[in-house]
Structure 1
Amino acid sequence: MKIGFDNDKYLHMQSSHIRERIDKFGGKLYLEFGGKLFDDYHASRVLPGFQPDSKLRLLKQLADQAEIVIVISAGDIEKNKVRGDLGITYDSDVLRLREEFIHAGLYVGSVVITQYSGQNSADLFKARLERLGIRVYLHYIIPGYPGNVPLIVSDEGYGKNDYIETTRPLVVITAPGPGSGKMATCLSQLYHEHKRGVQAGYAKFETFPIWNIPLKHPVNLAYEAATADLNDVNMIDPFHLEAYGETTVNYNRDIEIFPVLRATFERIYGENPYKSPTDMGVNMAGNCICDDEVCRQASLQEIIRRYYDTMDRFISGSCSEEEVFKIEMLMNQAGITVHDRPVVDAALSRAEQTGAPAAALELPDGKIVTGKTSDLLGASAALLLNALKELAGIDHACHVISPEAIEPIQKLKVNYLGSRNPRLHTDEVLIALSVSAATDKNAQLALEQLPKLNGCQLHTSVMLSSVDINVFKKLFIQATFEPKYEKKTVFQEEKGI
């Protein structure tokens, strides 16, 4: 994988910039931390060289100054809202995040339940946290939020919220996902600190959109594609342009809320410390792109991947047609089609040749290998073996798993486990390969190639099974697939799928 982002430079610049912002506000800063803290795979895909745990490593550099507060909306607890990437509820993720931070040597001070209005599920979650010895605070729904500034910035607004006891100069406010109330928590604390004579500050750390690259740069378009479900739109920051004569990029929600924030700051401080939404940010990622063309190409591929992901969710009924239109519009803006992803045409061509599902994978050197459906293996499993053979320099006619070893697995699946599909999935092939590696040098050599698949591009001519999706994720293969079922069931035909 070509590198387009200098991660070491980023960690140094970012930590220095956050320290400067702490000093600007006299030694107390509430930092709204957006995005994923230790598994930011989107950033690593569009900025090749960015490490998925960069934000966590950044915080570890500031560990002696930083305190983490995790916020969760009472409404999300009530709705059992689920993180799509992990498949766990937001309340469960609060506990997961806390454990991950503590394991990394970071101090987690407390949990805040926001938008609270007496929800029973929130009360139960609060009691559960307190039994674990975790401090919990409640922040309430404020009528007219965010427009009614006089009420919000008063004892009947922010004043009704619990004051969060903190001990460190940098208070990082994070959450399981968007809409949890991070910004409101920060501003509520500013109000309470001001009443106590402490002039604390606020800043926002959000990697995307990157403020100091062009509005329609593929990296920023890829962010819009990633947040199509939120209907975020990148925009030129008009407040920054007016104040400084400089063109910078922000997104619609921050720009729309800025007049309210400005009024809020003025009521708390007597003056507004920021002239624009861009001023509030501390992100240095744009300064650390070392190869713009590499990042452009990586981002264009990400937009195509997002298109396929959206089409999959549309077929399954979990996203709207408007979201599909949004992705298609972004592809038009970027001047790309699905055919700009080389593995797409390779997989479709192989499927047409064989008359059955097929798959294609691009190796690190750019060579594309394919896999077809057979009596023994599904297309994805066959592709995986073919790719490992190619990387190991093993003749493709050589069996690294003997048919005699596969047949007992098929018998187990069909005769004893009730599966209708006798062909092996990717996980079953890897287990069979591991068993063969104990006695076969070629199988061992093929198995040793697995780390080289990290970052490879893959496409299949039909929708992948959940098993294959999970295996490819664990191998860090960036997979897409056609929004088409391998076989139609009666249910699918009735639904017109």
Structure 2
Amino acid sequence: MFKKGFDNEKYLTMQSEHIKERIAQFGNKLYLEFGGKLFDDFHASRVLPGFEPDSKLQMLLQLKDQAEIVIAISAEDIENNKVRGDYGITYDMDVLRLIDEFQSVGLFVGSVCLTKFAEQPSANLFIKRLDSMNIKSYKHYKIPGYPSDVEFIVSDEGYGKNEYIETERPLVVVTAPGPGSGKMAVCLSQLYHEHKRGVDAGYAKYETFPIWNIPLKHPVNLAYEAATADLNDVNMIDPFHLEARGEAVVNYNRDCEIFPVVNAMFELIFGKSPYKSPTEMGVNMAGNCIIDDEACREASKQEIIRRYYKCLCEKRRNGTTKDDICKLELLMKQAEITVEDRKVTIVALEREKNENGNPAMAIELRDGTIVSGGTSELLGAASSALINALKVLAGIDKEVKLIDPKAIDPIQDLKINYLGSKNPRLHTDEVLTALSATAANNEIAMKAMKKLPLLKGCDAHSTVLLSSVDEQIFKKLGIQLTCEPKYEEDERMYHKN
């Protein structure tokens, strides 16, 4: 059942005001390293129910008259055609996507900075492409001994060799298409150049997770570890903050490990560091906007289970997984949960058992009602569960046939006789197509169609791995899907759609 646990409006106001305060602290020039996703932050919306996926963007829009965007991208990632897993596009193409997204909402993109630049051919081509679009670009170079040789880095031979990025506004948001792009290095290089020009600019870091002012083992913070199981990030009590302020706050290992180096750089640039701990560098206000702690705890526990299932399914499909299964199992123990704490899992498995082992699916609606679907000659379990959920949402009797057979027959004919499929059962995309065709002349079907938006945020579990087509439909509907790590035919060696 959906329960709101996070006050999004309070967050937008509090976060923007806090960033304004930090700008003022540094003489009206702040370089803000922006971690995580600016758009479509669905992880945050899942573990903090009430947090909107575009909250960071909306917060920035409150500062748009003061802010400009600098996008950092590693020239090595361009040369290696590094791909974003969520969008399936290369990092350089994602930079162009980000520029379009920012400009479409009125945010000013000042420039693109190519880090680790070494005259890579692909990087030079990308610079030419940016030039043709009237987007300014700058080059930052690999520095020998980075990040440990602080004396050399903070010198004319280190940061001093980087091109100075011309900026116009008090708040410079440095973002990137993904991790390892060099956001922090861009910020610190700019501080060095600004200081040489007599500008007392500052630096701060904005990341939503881990949340510094909730307990270390709070499920929200454990869910962050689950989300970064491939990076092996570990939440920890910030030892520098504990020593300096006598307060136990949460940070993560990489920020704590790099802080002595960053602190030394600050001292070389400014004479003394403005911060006593990595936590003090942050500006995240999310922890102050949790209004129902229990709702956020439960949502985060469900997210950990979903991450665990995702890892198991990835291993079943590919024979390997980038995530650490053992770590996810440990996180589940720390959160005191098992897969049986996912209600839809229990219902789906029970239905499969009652139907002689045939695949089944269960969907939990936002009011807590759980609807299931089995396998028939006409529909797969996912399609069946989807139709049954729409019937419940629309108040339609379960015996009513929502889809006109005249809408189904042509689809089956196309699949079997023209596209060479051996499976006459309809996938979810085909069922929705048939439903929409029926809805053109059927008020009951139209009533069901109009309930599709209410599936957003619902949980679902399948007792078998679904085809990529079905997975994409559930993703587009906003349904939070998990699957058992097995195929409908367990001996199958590849996943047939």
Does the alignment reach a TM-score above 0.5?
A: yes
**Alignment map for 1:108-147 (pairs within 5 Å):** 108-147=109-148
Give the Cα separation in 1 of the matches to 2:125 and 2:454. Answer: 46
Counterpart pick for 2:443 among 420, 432, 441: 441
**Alignment map for 1:80-479 (pairs within 5 Å):** 80-317=81-318, 320=321, 323-354=324-355, 355-479=357-481
User: What are the ranges of 5 or more consecutive residues in structure 2 without an aligned counterpart?
Assistant: none
Given the two structures, how large is their TM-score scaled by the length of structure 1?
Answer: 0.97
Q: Secondary structure at the match of 1:366?
A: coil
Please say which of residues 260-269 and 122-131 is displaced more in the overlay.
Answer: 122-131
Counterpart pick for 1:487 among 480, 486, 489: 489
Q: Secondary structure at the match of 1:235?
A: strand
- How much has 1:29 moved relative to structure 2? 0.2
1:126-170 CA distances to partner (integer Å, 9 max, x unpaired)?
A: 111111111111111111111110111111111111110100000
Give the Cα separation in 1 of the matches to 2:170 and 2:319. Answer: 42
1:81-124 CA distances to partner (integer Å, 9 max, x unpaired)?
A: 11111111111110011100000110000001111122211111
* Alignment length (residue pairs): 493
Give the Cα separation in 2 of the matches to 1:318 and 1:146. Answer: 36
Give the Cα separation in 1 of the matches to 2:480 and 2:322. Answer: 24
The amino acid of 1:474's aligned partner reads K
Q: Report percent identity of matched pairs.
A: 68
Give the Cα separation in 1 of the matches to 2:477 and 2:115. Answer: 37
- How much has 1:464 moved relative to structure 2? 1.5
Give the Cα separation in 2 of the matches to 1:317 and 1:160. Answer: 44
Which position in structure 2 is the counterpart of 1:55?
A: 56
Give the Cα separation in 2 of the matches to 1:409 and 1:277. Answer: 58
Given the two structures, how large is their TM-score scaled by the length of structure 2?
Answer: 0.97
1:288-330 CA distances to partner (integer Å, 9 max, x unpaired)?
A: 0000000000000000011111112222338547611111111
User: What are the ranges of 5 or more consecutive residues in structure 1 without an aligned counterpart?
Assistant: none
Instruction: Verify the 8 A CA contact 1:314 1:324 in the aligned structure 2.
Output: no
Q: Secondary structure at the match of 1:398?
A: coil
Please say which of residues 320-329 and 469-478 is displaced more in the overlay.
Answer: 320-329
The amino acid of 1:77's aligned partner reads I
1:356-402 CA distances to partner (integer Å, 9 max, x unpaired)?
A: 11100011221111111111111111110000011111111110113
Structure 1 residues 447 and 320: alpha-carbon distance in aligned structure 2, compared to 1, 3 A threshold: closer
Over the aligned positions, Cα root-mean-square deviation in angstroms equals: 1.4
Give the Cα separation in 2 of the matches to 1:58 and 1:322. Answer: 32
Q: Secondary structure at the match of 1:70?
A: strand
Q: Secondary structure at the match of 1:136?
A: strand
Q: Secondary structure at the match of 2:259?
A: helix
Q: Secondary structure at the match of 2:318?
A: coil
- How much has 1:196 moved relative to structure 2? 0.9
- How much has 1:433 moved relative to structure 2? 0.5
Structure 1 residues 125 and 318: alpha-carbon distance in aligned structure 2, compared to 1, 3 A threshold: farther
- How much has 1:45 moved relative to structure 2? 0.6
Structure 1 residues 403 and 54: alpha-carbon distance in aligned structure 2, compared to 1, 3 A threshold: same
Instruction: Verify the 8 A CA contact 1:206 1:283 in the aligned structure 2.
Output: yes
- Runs (4 or more) in structure 1 with deviation over 6 Å come to none
Q: Secondary structure at the match of 1:228?
A: coil
